[in-house]
Chain A
Amino acid sequence: MSTNTKGIKIGQQDPTWVRFLVISISITFVALMLVLPLGVVFWEAFRKGVSAYLDSFQDRNAIRAIYMTCLAAGIAVPLNLVFGIAASWAIAKFNFRGKSLLIALIDLPFAISPVISGLVYILVFGMQGWLGKWLEGYGIQVIFAVPGIVLATIFVTFPFVARELIPLMQEQGSEEEWAAISLGANGWQTFWRVTLPNIKWGVLYGVLLCNARAMGEFGAVSVVSSNIRGGTNTLPLHIDALYNDYNSVAAFAMASILAFLGVITLIGKTLLERKLQQETSSSLESTTTEESK
């Protein structure tokens, strides 16, 4: 069959007007709904000039909010990284009772509203909650304090690493691990020398998405935060507060940080996806012969 320059079989091509319509709808939609708002963020942030933009960062509360966001992400991401690798390892390599329940539970944070997860933490750790009074006896305050913010962030970002790794590890199977073990490697050596190198791009991808969500989370964090400026406000909460004060330059300046993070995440994600495809295809390569049998 003859092919055009793009390698598409001519017989399979849709009429030009269909392609034109579908492509323009997609581009218009993306431009209106995604690119335009992102542009507005930067536009508004720099509306009163660069110095006004930079002044927004001199604020003590702004610095505190950036610090809180980094702290929450800095704790939540490594914890969820460890959990994600452990959970996907368990799911991909072992058979055990309750495996499907575990898979379902990992998705829980995706399924329920972040506000609810915040409220759950208040019920458990709040002053009227089950553990709140007991913890207070030891001088530990969870809700309206840093631990609450961290817990809420962990909760909403819980699935990202695991969700990324489970299919990847299932795809790769456990033969390489068995080979390593039969050659005398212990569990630790097998993990560091065989398993981790095989999933490293998947891990990075998961961490990237996890981090983006951890830094951007609003709902769950807003419930457990005291909403005190310079206290437990994270960046998204701080932006909200500034905006409610009609301080739009400062609000958009702060927002530009998150928007910038988003753009970086997107670029990183694209690069990693390419690497990840190589990771999967090289594992597929060895199984194609089996399929053709």
Chain B
Amino acid sequence: MSIEIKNISKSFGSFSALNNISLKIENGELISLLGPSGSGKTTLLRVIAGMESPDPNPDSHVLFFGEDVANKPVGDRKVGFVFQHYALFKHMSVFENIAFGLRVRPRSQRPSENAIRDKVHSLLSLIQLEGFGTRFPKQLSGGQRQRVALARALAIEPQVLLLDEPFGALDAKVRKGLRDWLRGLHDELNTTTILVTHDQEEALEVSDRVVVMNQAKIEQVGAPADVFHHPASEFVIDFLGNVNVFHGRINQGQAVLDTIRVGLSDPNVPDGEQANVYVRPNDMSIARNSLSKASMAAKVTRINRAGVQAKINLMLANQEEIRVDITMEQLLELDLQLDDAVFVHPNKARVFVPDYTI
């Protein structure tokens, strides 16, 4: 099921939730809408579901397989919607929750009681909750509830699955487990799936493609590796995880920070422009001596050994704090102690020139 969104805007009063959004979602794809709260990702999902109508505009369309669904109510779009807080029917058993979408069909399309039972049981085994059919939602854990919600949505054999922060209310461990399970399920069913999340790790890990959103606009669309290694904007690199920012100036096609020079992809940026240099913590090295001139003096302020890599906080001469991740072996080798004076240098950096649009 391919879904095409064309020139969609949506405002609530003076607040713009979506600003002229266009996006194409391929058949069978698992795509994430990633962004901070208020970026418009949930609104976009609700527009696709038909729960919000976009601002009227003759050029704006929501197409399901080429067909404009503007006048189709939610119930006719065949979307499976999963809510952050599950929205299970509290007074119904797990079985009845899953059977709901089949039972409310018009009599002529309603499956027989036997067919409903078979369908529900196969879904219960799909979500690994066989034998839970007679329980009520409040007797289940959060992760189990969300799986029931997913089974309930799958019961109507939706053309597209829309998941609105489905793991947002769960604790970290359950979250990670469910995330992997969801990816496996998607590979099995191949239902086109749109996942809304504010968790960049989640988006990068499960999706085929990631749509990074900010302030009602799409910042970047791409495969997780693409978005991670080739962020299109300062917002994207900043949002995708811990990153150090250095402020320098452009000189002869290079960003200059003290003794460090970073090459630009575009050599035509005029001299004197402000340059923001982004370096991820594991793209930096620490040395005892300034072997090259391209390094900055720093003082160790904190060493955190909890993790696969050691996280070192350092204070630069200009009082800015940065973070560098090194392997445990390197930490041993360097024998770093608090307040040690060291030198750091970036191995890989990305430069953005805020006032200059390419």
In the assembled complex, the CB of A134 is this many whole angstroms from the nearest CB of chain B, namely: 43
Q: How many residues of B contact A (CB 8 A)?
A: 31
Assess A179 versus B87: contact at CB under 8 Å? Given A184-B104, A193-B104: yes
SS of A interface (majority)? helix
Interface centre among A180, A184, A189 (most CB of B within 10 A): A184
Contact B101 A183 (CB under 8 A): yes
Contact A180 B100 (CB under 8 A): yes
Tell me, yes or no, whether B36 is within 8 Å of chain A by CB.
no
Could you tell me which residues of chain A, from 185 to 221, have a CB within 8 Å of some CB in chain B?
Answer: 185-186, 189, 193-194, 197-198
Tell me, yes or no, whether B152 is within 8 Å of chain A by CB.
yes
B146-171 vs A, CB cutoff 8 Å, 1 = contact: the mask equals: 00010011011000000000001110
In the assembled complex, the CB of B135 is this many whole angstroms from the nearest CB of chain A, namely: 14
Tell me, yes or no, whether A55 is within 8 Å of chain B by CB.
no
In the assembled complex, the CB of A167 is this many whole angstroms from the nearest CB of chain B, namely: 18
Residue of A nearest to B83 (CB): A175
A279-293 vs B, CB cutoff 8 Å, 1 = contact: the mask equals: 000110111011001
Contact B104 A180 (CB under 8 A): yes
Tell me, yes or no, whether A59 is within 8 Å of chain B by CB.
no
In the assembled complex, the CB of B288 is this many whole angstroms from the nearest CB of chain A, namely: 43
Contact A184 B90 (CB under 8 A): no
Number of A-B residue pairs, CB cutoff 8 Å, is 77
Which residues on B sit within 8 Å (CB–CB) of A182?
Answer: 49, 51, 74-75, 79-81, 153
In the assembled complex, the CB of A100 is this many whole angstroms from the nearest CB of chain B, namely: 16
Contact B81 A179 (CB under 8 A): yes
Contact A290 B169 (CB under 8 A): yes
Tell me, yes or no, whether A273 is within 8 Å of chain B by CB.
no
Complex: how many Å from CA A178 to CA B170? 22
Contact B83 A183 (CB under 8 A): no
Q: How many residues of A contact B (CB 8 A)?
A: 24
Contact B90 A198 (CB under 8 A): yes
B87-124 vs A, CB cutoff 8 Å, 1 = contact: the mask equals: 11111000000001100110000000000000000000
Contact B83 A184 (CB under 8 A): no
Which residues on A sit within 8 Å (CB–CB) of B348?
Answer: none
Assess A175 versus B85: contact at CB under 8 Å? Given A180-B104, A183-B101, A282-B138: yes
Complex: how many Å from CA A179 to CA B84? 12
Assess A176 versus B87: contact at CB under 8 Å? Given A183-B101, A183-B152: yes
Complex: how many Å from CA A197 to CA B90? 9
Contact A184 B75 (CB under 8 A): yes
Complex: how many Å from CA A159 to CA B19? 43
Given contacts A175-B85, A185-B101, 18 further A-B contacts (CB under 8 A): A175-B87, A176-B88, A176-B89, A179-B89, A179-B149, A180-B89, A181-B74, A182-B80, A183-B100, A184-B104, A185-B75, A193-B104, A198-B91, A283-B90, A289-B85, A289-B142, A290-B84, A293-B168
Chain A residues engaging chain B, CB cutoff 8 angstroms: 175-176, 178-186, 189, 193-194, 197-198, 282-283, 285-287, 289-290, 293
Nearest 7 pairs of A and B residues by beta carbon: A183-B101, A175-B87, A185-B104, A289-B169, A179-B87, A182-B81, A197-B91
